[in-house]
Structure formats: C-alpha cells, structure tokens
C-alpha cells in the first residue's frame, strides 16, 4: 500500500511539472526531447535489452542473469515505466527527490526563471549529467540519465564507510570499504546497475548508518542538478565545437565549471559569495561530502588512466576552489584532507 501511494504521488508530482514545462515549449523543442529519448533507448545497451527482442546483456563482467533479475524488478516501479516511454521524458518521477529541493534552494532572484528550465530523465544507465541547448531555439535544457540513481547509493556507502572506518579498532572494516571504493573507481563509467551490483558484492553486507547513506546520496543528486542549473543561471558560454578551442576559450570553460560548483554549493549552504558562511556541523558535513564526491571522480580518472580535458579544471582545483570561495574553517579542511588520504589508499 505504501509503495502504491508513493508511486501514485510521484506520478502526480512529475506529471504536474511536465505539464507546466510542456506548455512553455515549442513543438520543435518538444520533438527534440522525444527524439533524444528515443535515440537514448536505442543506443543504451541495457535499455536496448528491454526494447529490442533478442538483445543480449552478454559482455558484462556481471552474470547477465543477475543483471536481468535486478532490471526486472524495475518494471514494478513507476520510474521505470516512465523511462520506457519517450513521451514521458519530462514526467519521470525518478527526478522528483532532487528537482524539487534544488528549485527550493535556488536564489530567489533566479528561482522563477530556472525552475522553468526543462530537466529531463533520459533512458540511459549512465552516471553523468549536463546542460544542453535546443537546436531549434538555443534555449537550455538539462539531461539527467535515469540510471544516475543506481550510482548515488553505492557512492554514498563507500565514501561514508571509508571515512567512518578510519580507526585502529576496525582495520578489516576499512579494508572492505577500500575494496568497494576500488570497484567504484574502476566501474564508474560502466552501466550503472553494474556498479550497484559489484559494490554490493564488495561490501559483503557492511553498510554505514542508513540515514547517513540516504542523506549523502540525496545531497549529491541535488548538487549535480544545481551545478547544471548554475550553468544556465550564470549564462555560461557553450562552444559549437569542443575540438577547436583556443587557450583562452579553455580558460573560460574551466572557470565556468568552477563557477557552477560555487553556485551549487552556495545554494546548499544558503549563502552567496558576498556573504560569509555561518558554518555549523551540517554545512561542514555537506561540503565534505561534495569534496568526497569530486575525489571519487578524480580517482576514477586516475585509476582508468584517463586525462582531464584541457578545457576542464582538475578535481583538486574544484575542491580547493570550493574551500577557498567559502572560507572553509580549519576543521573542514582537515576533514577533506583526511578523506583524500583515505581515498588515495584505494588506488595505491
């Protein structure tokens, strides 16, 4: 009964949002979103296994039957029903828990404008998100893959678990979390249910306090959405071709990425750059978690030997920019440093 009510309420909230946004779109813009969803369904390997008879899950390091069993459970959830329908690209309830808080945290002078920005859940099992522009109008919309939520929880579990297990009394527990962190580092660009399954196996039943995991995962989901809304609200420049950027243009893009981080963190801290932060335990915890999230992506790039593009700041630069911008207290800086040192042990 509770799940039925949750699904019903989620559908209602998402449908209202979709109706409001759809009324503001041109027919060409709406056609672009539906075409985007259809293309994502055709190209994502796991979604293709549902939509195309005979498509296989073979090739994954996870037993295909286990992935298939996990994915089959999704069919009972309203979120997945919406993901299977391209016309529901605006009305997927999966984004409700992040979109509504993100809108409430926006600066008052931008809330009315940015809350009209279309935020779509594309049918892809990936962990990413980005602001895009409609070809027909040049207006912004934001893409968040449906599968993002599969990664938020494992990322929260290994990040919290690693940090909380740094104790001489629990070396075995810390090692389990470090092993699970290695899975995240190596698999972050894999299909997101695969990350979920492999981290769950690596944890061997261990998990940090449940409330902390839910809080961490929710915070990062909101931060990601606010980051993309920051690009829109700050009217950031988007190049037509990423392969022909000048040095000056790369600098502009790097600064924009850091500015979007500042925007998102400022919304979460309920402050702005021209006002000091009234630091307390919760605000320090939130910035620590954001820095841990950035560190996890940094370790993924190092562990998979991928280079940060020239037009993108390093994740160390992004962490330092946050700490400097908001004049983080010494305790928070020390906590971030400890978290980085612990994370580094996962790839040493």
Of the listed ranges 63-72, 83-92, 217-226, 241-250, the least confidently predicted one is 63-72
pLDDT at residue 122, rounded to an integer: 92
61: how many CB neighbours lie within 10 A of its CB? Answer: 10
- Average pLDDT value for residue range 295-319: 92
For 268-278, write each residue's pLDDT tens digit.
999 876 788 99
Res 59 pLDDT > 70: no
CA-to-CA separations, 19 to 122, 147, 220, 325, in angstroms, rounded: 17, 23, 27, 38
Q: Domains of the chain: which residue ranges?
A: 2-92+113-146, 150-344
pLDDT at residue 313, rounded to an integer: 96
Confidence band (pLDDT; 50, 70, 90) for 281? very high
Res 62 pLDDT > 80: no
For 312-328, write each residue's pLDDT tens digit.
999 999 999 999 999 99
- Over the chain, what is the mean pLDDT? 88
At residue 190, what are phi and psi to the nearest 5 degrees? -80, 170
Res 82 pLDDT > 90: no
Distance, in Å, from the CA atom of 153 to the CA atom of 288, rounded to the nearest integer, reads 17
- HEC-encoded secondary structure of 290-348: HHHHHHHHHHHHHHCCCCCCCCCCCHHHHHHHHHHHCCCCHHHHHHHHHHHHHHHCCCC
pLDDT at residue 249, rounded to an integer: 94
pTM, entire model: 0.92
Beta pairing class for 130-133 and 119-122: unpaired
The full DSSP string for 163-182 is HHT-STT-HHHHHHHHHHHH
Residues linked to residue 290 through DSSP beta bridges, in sequence order: none
């Amino acid at each position: 009964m509770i799940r039925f009510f949750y699904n019903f309420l989620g559908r209602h909230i998402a449908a209202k949002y979709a109706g409001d946004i759809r009324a503001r779109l041109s027919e060409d813009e709406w056609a672009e979103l539906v075409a985007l969803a259809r293309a994502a369904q055709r190209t994502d390997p796991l979604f293709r296994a549902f939509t195309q008879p005979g498509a296989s899950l073979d090739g994954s390091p996870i037993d295909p039957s286990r992935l298939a069993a996990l994915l089959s459970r999704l069919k009972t959830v309203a979120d997945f029903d919406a993901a299977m329908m391209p016309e529901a690209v605006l009305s997927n309830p999966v984004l409700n828990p992040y979109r509504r808080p993100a809108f409430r945290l926006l600066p008052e002078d931008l809330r009315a404008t940015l809350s009209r920005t279309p935020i779509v859940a594309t049918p892809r099992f990936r962990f990413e998100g980005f602001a895009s522009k409609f070809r027909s109008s040049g207006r912004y919309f934001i893409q968040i893959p449906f599968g993002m939520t599969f990664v938020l929880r494992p990322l929260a579990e290994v990040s919290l678990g690693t940090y909380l297990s740094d104790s001489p009394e629990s070396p075995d527990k810390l090692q389990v979390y470090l092993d699970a962190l290695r899975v995240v580092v190596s698999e972050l660009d894999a299909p997101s249910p695969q990350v979920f399954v492999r981290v769950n196996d690596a944890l061997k039943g261990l998990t940090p306090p449940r409330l902390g995991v839910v809080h961490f995962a929710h915070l990062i989901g909101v931060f990601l959405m606010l980051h993309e809304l920051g690009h829109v609200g700050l009217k950031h420049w988007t190049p037509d071709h990423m392969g022909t950027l000048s040095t000056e243009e790369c600098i502009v893009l790097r600064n924009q990425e850091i500015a979007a981080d500042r925007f998102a963190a400022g919304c979460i801290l309920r402050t702005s750059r021209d006002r000091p932060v009234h630091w307390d335990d919760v605000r320090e915890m939130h910035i620590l978690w954001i820095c841990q999230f950035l560190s996890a992506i940094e370790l993924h790039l190092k562990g998979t030997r991928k280079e940060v593009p020239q037009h993108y700041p390093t994740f160390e630069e992004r962490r330092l920019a946050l700490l400097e911008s908001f004049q983080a207290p010494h305790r928070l800086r020390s906590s971030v440093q400890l978290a980085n040192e612990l994370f580094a042990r996962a790839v040493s």
